[in-house]
Amino acid sequence: MIKRIRSAYRKRPDLVSALVLLAAFLFIIALNLFVLHRGGVWGSKMDWSSQHFTIPEYLRMRFFETGDWHPDFAMQLGGGQNIYDLAYYGIAAPLYLPAYFMPWVTMAAYIQFISIAGVYVSALMTYYLFKRHFRGALPLALALLFLFAGPIIFHSHRHIMFVNYYPFLLGMLLAAGGRDCIRNWLLMTVFACCIVCTSYYYSVGAFGAVGIYLIYNSLEQKQDAKVKEVFGMIWKKLLFSFMGCVCAARLWMPTLAAIISGRASTSVDVSLYDLLVPTVNMSVLLYTAYSAGLTCIVPISVIALLKDGKRSERFLAGFAAVCVLFPVVIYLLNGTMYVEGKAFIPFIPLLLILCGRFLIKLLAGEADVKFTMSTFFILAVFALKEDLTISQRCLLAADTIVMTVLMAVCTKKKRYRALMVYVLLFPLGVCIGMGCLDNFVKLSEMRELYSDEPKQLVSETLDSDTDVYRFAEDPALSMTVNKVYRTDYLTTNIYSSLSNPDFRKFRFYSSSCEIGTRNNAIHMQPKNILFNTLMGCRYRLAKDGDEMFGESLASTSGDYSVFRNENAFPLGYVCSNTMPEDRYMSLPWEYQQETLLTNIIVPEENEDKGMAPEHTQWLEVDFSSLASYKGISYGNRMFTVKSKKPIKAMIELDEPVEDKVLIITAFADNRIGRISRQSDIHLTINGVKNKLTDPNWKYNNGNYVFSYVLSSNEPITTLDMEFSAGNYTISGLEACTVDGSVFRSAMDNKVPLVIDTEDPLGDTISGTVDVKEDGWFNISFPYDKHFCITVDGEKVDYFRTNLSFIGFPITAGEHRITVEYKAPMNETGLWVSVAGAALTLLMTAGFWLYGSKKKGS
């Protein structure tokens, strides 16, 4: 059998290589879907299910209904967001555009296919890239190593933007290594543009990899070339690559504007000392899906080539060594956010070229094995002391020992077959192991996500109501956080790496909402009737849910129900009761929620015409009884929890809370004890969950103030509490109630905006309002400086109202109001792209004419 394969490979190496790569990939897919994760689809429950196909599906649905190819505003998500907050998820991805012409295919199915096809095409392209540098079976072996690299297959079903740009990156590398001609220049322009449009975050690393490869390739052609000569060999390709970035300005310019204002901060504190002081940071290379994900053959190759390689090889190896030793390089590639190896993913093909060069030297007996292995062994010892995970340490130790033994034995006997087999099989094992660690979405869950029941309920509800209101969704429906059924289905949900900072502030800190997720980029619908009322959530879609205060059951279908909140505010309204923000902020926390319901909070310099809170009362609750539960101690007005298991507790209220909303606050702190034992904690009260993430996690949600808004149409008689396992403190437990009459009468002093519904809701919303008394207009779109608001055709200035939204003073009378959003830098980006494309064509024509003239002379 092996002889036949060898014979076939000699005759048709490309075909056999393509089939081997396909067989290896299909084996891993089958292993995952039919053995390790039986009944699953090619998508992870982490992010893929809630972001990577639901957002593209929303964008496509919106295009079908509005015909707007490049909108400015996502009115349906997060209360209304700059559409470029979603740019990372494929707003202009070339590979997604064909799905816009296939409405019968779900985006979930389409993206699974594109992800799988993209990995295979990328592996095939790496084979042809390696064929330019190596002969025999080595290109196939290196292409297999690429396929088995940690992030390649893993992120095709988890964070697809980590790898889905690879076909375009490899296209650039192939063009970069080709002749210096117009065809390759234009290919580099096109592929550069596609990389930015596909995954702008990784475009920095991708272009870095192309630049390094261009220099390496030039030095390969002329080992003694000076800097000026190298630049002369590559400047045209660099120029056309840059023009590709210019052509993509239509995406990256408005996206950059969104990033500057909307990126959620991380909790990582990186000092200049940590960045500049050399360290052995093997994590950027080895064993995880969030790095280059290769094995120790890579650092071994780097060491060997630094010592005995040609100039071109030493250059490439030197770059890899700098990345490992100096964290500042990875820090810059990560956009100065943190030091993480995931920014090194685009460099995998270059690292494998180093592996190929080393293996050739090893087989030819030209490698200094003793020096290489002893140096690597010392570096591995240092690396084991660095910030590696337990699995990385175990794999590094095992890999180092096996490689050391095999290198010694095979070098002595001059037989390298066992070593080569190990170099291929160990990465395959690591790749399979990574697949085991992921949690795939079940096919049954996908069927439920596309179930007709919720879609039908939503459509019937929207069709029966002529007004425009928002929908709330039960937070248990986590997979649907970004799901939008129609353009008139407006939600407050959003899960995106970018989001409006004012909305984030209101959702997390100003509206007494719980934070039940560990990632501060996730805005799940809270179980908070105050928030739902303020945000205009007239309807709530729930699965096996109960009524909250002021809600009534509107309709049901199967396990799904729609509840109607009669007290929900309209999206826009006018109110004559206004309170300056400085007075509002001076109120005790227990009075602020009632004040938001009865007033519009306006900028500080305005007159105080506010209604004072009169229906909020303290509630005496005997929280000290919690100390009677095992694992909870009380002292200095603070509860200390030390438990390896969750603790369930119950407090009986002295009097039932009836026809009122109960609000509870507490301070949580898990920054105690040994750092290694600090972890996520949570406290749940009557089904409302607050979570505080591990203080050492880079996306720490900072939820040190736990807020609970408990409401029911039935009397609340007990507080059913669950404390998570861990070591932490809970202090400052306080409770108050807001009378139900506040909700029922909240609209008495407000005049709603009657919104036009003839056209689909896109970037603009308009309507009429009949104002009885001078006051302020407020619309619950998160504040942003780039709205254009007109009243009766006249443009007006607007301000931040209700802490995080937009509004302006308005006089008595009937008015027509139009609110339109224009994404910053959108039009500028379009003109820059057009200019870039035109300039590229002019440059191409100029070079062609110059070349023709030169040939003619």
Structure confidence by residue, pLDDT tens digits, 520-533? 778 888 899 999 99
Confidence grade of residue 830 (pLDDT, cut at 50, 70, 90): very high
Note the helical H segments in 263-296: 272-276
Query: What is the C-alpha separation between 405 and 183, in angstroms, rounded?
Result: 48
Paired with 805 in beta bridges are 782, 801
Note whether 787 and 820 are within 8 A (CB): yes
Query: What is the C-alpha separation between 437 and 448, in angstroms, rounded?
Result: 24
Q: What is the pTM of this model?
A: 0.91
Query: Residue type at 463?
Result: D
DSSP letter for each residue of 205-244: HHHHHHHHHHHHHHHHH-TT--HHHHHHHHHHHHHHHHHH
DSSP letter for each residue of 658-677: -SEEEEEEEEEE---S-GGG
- Tell me what pLDDT residue 339 has: 67
Q: Which residues lie below 8 Å from residue 55, measured CB to CB, with a gap of 6+? A: 86, 89, 90, 482, 496
**Portion of the chain with pLDDT greater than 70, in percent:** 95
Note whether 145 and 352 are within 8 A (CB): yes
Starting at the earlier edge strand, list the strands of the sheet with 470-473: 470-473, 537-543, 560-565, 551-557
The number of residues making up the chain comes to: 857
Query: What is the C-alpha separation between 50 and 41, in angstroms, rounded?
Result: 14
Whole-number Cα distances in Å, 652 to 641, 720, 721, 727: 21, 9, 11, 26
- Tell me what pLDDT residue 558 has: 82
pLDDT in tens, 224-243: 888 888 898 899 999 999 99
The residue with greater pLDDT, 569 or 846, is: 569
Q: Which residues lie below 8 Å from residue 26, measured CB to CB, with a gap of 6+? A: none
Q: Which residues lie below 8 Å from residue 541, measured CB to CB, with a gap of 6+? A: 454, 457, 458, 471, 472, 473, 474, 477, 560, 561, 562
DSSP letter for each residue of 789-855: EEETTEEE--EEETTTEEEEEE-SEEEEEEEEE--TTHHHHHHHHHHHHHHHHHHHHHHHHHHHHHH
- Tell me what pLDDT residue 77 has: 93
**Placement of tokens 């729609």 in the chain:** 562
- Tell me what pLDDT residue 469 has: 93
The residue with greater pLDDT, 327 or 452, is: 452
Task: Tell me: pLDDT of 805 over 90.
Answer: yes
Q: What is the DSSP code (8-state) at residue 38?
A: T
The residue with greater pLDDT, 529 or 849, is: 529
Confidence grade of residue 264 (pLDDT, cut at 50, 70, 90): low
Residues 283-291 have a mean pLDDT of 86
- Tell me what pLDDT residue 853 has: 67
- Tell me what pLDDT residue 475 has: 57
- Tell me what pLDDT residue 59 has: 92
Note whether 560 and 541 are within 8 A (CB): yes
pLDDT in tens, 761-781: 889 999 999 999 999 999 999
Q: Which of 667, 646, 666 is nearest to 726 (CA)?
A: 646
The answer to which of 123-127, 198-202, 412-416, 482-486 has the lowest mean pLDDT is 412-416
Two tokens, residue 821: 């959003």
- Tell me what pLDDT residue 96 has: 92
Note whether 373 and 407 are within 8 A (CB): yes
Confidence grade of residue 676 (pLDDT, cut at 50, 70, 90): low
Using a 10 angstrom Cβ sphere, with 0-12 exposed, 13-18 middle and 19 or more buried, the burial of residue 764 is middle
- Tell me what pLDDT residue 737 has: 94
Residues 722-726 have a mean pLDDT of 93
Q: What share of the chain is helix, strand, coil (3-state, %, to 5)?
A: 50, 20, 30
Using a 10 angstrom Cβ sphere, with 0-12 exposed, 13-18 middle and 19 or more buried, the burial of residue 38 is exposed
Query: What is the C-alpha separation between 352 and 347, in angstroms, rounded?
Result: 9
Confidence grade of residue 659 (pLDDT, cut at 50, 70, 90): very high
Q: Could you give phi then psi for residue 300, rounded to 5 degrees?
A: -65, -45
Query: What is the C-alpha separation between 482 and 548, in angstroms, rounded?
Result: 23
Architecture of domain 616-744: Sandwich (2.60)
- Tell me what pLDDT residue 355 has: 94
Residues 312-323 have a mean pLDDT of 90
Task: Tell me: pLDDT of 204 over 80.
Answer: yes
Note whether 188 and 143 are within 8 A (CB): no
Q: Could you give phi then psi for residue 65, rounded to 5 degrees?
A: -85, -30
Paired with 607 in beta bridges are none
Query: What is the C-alpha separation between 265 and 637, in angstroms, rounded?
Result: 32
- Tell me what pLDDT residue 857 has: 56
Using a 10 angstrom Cβ sphere, with 0-12 exposed, 13-18 middle and 19 or more buried, the burial of residue 460 is middle
Query: What is the C-alpha separation between 781 and 788, in angstroms, rounded?
Result: 13
Two tokens, residue 409: 């034995």
**Placement of tokens 């034992």 in the chain:** 677
Note whether 637 and 696 are within 8 A (CB): no
Two tokens, residue 208: 């870095």
Secondary structure class of 779 (helix, strand, coil):
strand
Query: What is the C-alpha separation between 461 and 363, in angstroms, rounded?
Result: 71
Average pLDDT along the chain = 89
Report for 387-396, 607-616, 822-831: range of highest mean pLDDT: 822-831
pLDDT in tens, 161-197: 999 999 999 999 999 998 888 899 999 999 999 999 9
Note whether 491 and 592 are within 8 A (CB): no
Q: Which of 104, 73, 107 is nearest to 90 (CA)?
A: 107
Paired with 636 in beta bridges are none
- Tell me what pLDDT residue 738 has: 94
The answer to which of 25-39, 375-389, 502-516 has the lowest mean pLDDT is 375-389
Query: What is the C-alpha separation between 807 and 783, in angstroms, rounded?
Result: 9
Query: What is the C-alpha separation between 322 and 372, in angstroms, rounded?
Result: 17
DSSP letter for each residue of 87-110: GGGTSS-TTTGGGGG-TTS-HHHH
Confidence grade of residue 270 (pLDDT, cut at 50, 70, 90): low
Q: Which of 536, 604, 508 is nearest to 780 (CA)?
A: 536
Two tokens, residue 639: 């509860």
Secondary structure class of 375 (helix, strand, coil):
helix
pLDDT in tens, 56-84: 999 999 999 888 878 899 999 999 999 99
Query: What is the C-alpha separation between 489 and 61, in angstroms, rounded?
Result: 12
Domain ranges of the chain: 175-255+825-857, 277-449, 575-614+753-821, 616-744
Residues 572-590 have a mean pLDDT of 92
- Tell me what pLDDT residue 476 has: 58
Q: What is the DSSP code (8-state) at residue 547?
A: P
Task: Tell me: pLDDT of 9 over 70.
Answer: no
- Tell me what pLDDT residue 196 has: 94
Q: Could you give phi then psi for residue 553, rounded to 5 degrees?
A: -70, 120
Using a 10 angstrom Cβ sphere, with 0-12 exposed, 13-18 middle and 19 or more buried, the burial of residue 417 is exposed
Confidence grade of residue 480 (pLDDT, cut at 50, 70, 90): confident
Query: Residue type at 803?
Result: L
Residues 458-470 have a mean pLDDT of 92
